[in-house]
Amino acid sequence: MDFHILTLFPEMVEQGLDNSILKRAKADNLITVNAVNIRDYSGNKHGSVDDYTYGGGAGMLMRCAPVYDAYEALGLKDREKARVIYADPKGVTFNQKMARELSEAGELVFVCGHYEGIDQRVIDEIVTDRISIGDYILTGGELPVMVMIDAISRLIPGVLGNEESPCDESFSDDLLEYPQYTRPEIWHDKKVPDILLSGDHKKIEEYRLFEAIKETRLHRPDLYEKYRDKIIKEEESLKPRRRVVTNFINELDCNSEE
């Protein structure tokens, strides 16, 4: 996967994405990170890329030409199919499903705005996706872009090392992840659940599924409702695992009504 990032602060992006798992993924050539400094395309000796907004108002706006010229210089493998993502608080909210879809793209371009943002004309010209990481405003697009690249990269085969890991994590099936434990067996008088020490893998799997459903119901009722509705719709053609899930849901819902 090739990531191209158009930014005013390439060092910030490069340093943020050069640690831990992502550093290893780059070393293994599973991902590449190409941070391009938009100032290099400013067209003036001062490296200025912004100007006052037409119509007045506070703050400065990034001009079209430097952003567009930086994009043009990328030399994308297939420009027609390129996904160009603008980190924008007005965009759709980023989620795990979106991360998985983007992880299959092969090549992505991220555009980081600053000041009051970017001239709308170049956004309309090159951007295919406007994505937000939440309902709040940051000083620039670099942090949202790093969040998205981290989430996308870990879904690329080989990056995590254990191919089963992404399948069991939060949001993989509209469920939060179940609680996990490691040594020691007893800590501050709190003991690891006996079932996890039993060696019975089928029972452990069912226990973890139940705990995942319980965690989701407690902490993200919106996801729980979505998951429960999906299970109910499939109930007539349930596989054994689905029957177990239905029983868990019924048990949790009954207990909450008592």
Write out the chain's pLDDT in tens, 258 residues.
Answer: 999 999 999 999 999 999 999 999 999 999 999 999 999 999 999 999 999 999 998 899 999 999 999 999 999 988 888 999 999 999 999 999 999 999 999 899 999 999 899 999 999 999 999 999 999 999 999 999 999 999 999 999 999 986 555 555 666 678 999 999 999 999 999 999 999 999 999 999 999 999 999 999 999 999 999 999 888 877 655 556 677 788 888 888 888 765
Q: What is the model's pTM?
A: 0.86
Fold of 2-153: Alpha/beta knot (3.40.1280)
Q: How far apart are CA 34 and CA 16, in angstroms?
A: 13
Pick the CATH number of 170-257 from 1.10.10.10, 3.40.47.10, 1.10.1270.20, 3.40.640.10: 1.10.1270.20
Give the strand pairing for 60-62 and 2-7.
unpaired
Question: What is the residue extent of each domain of the chain?
Answer: 2-153, 170-257
Quick count: other Cβ atoms within 10 Å of Cβ 101? 13
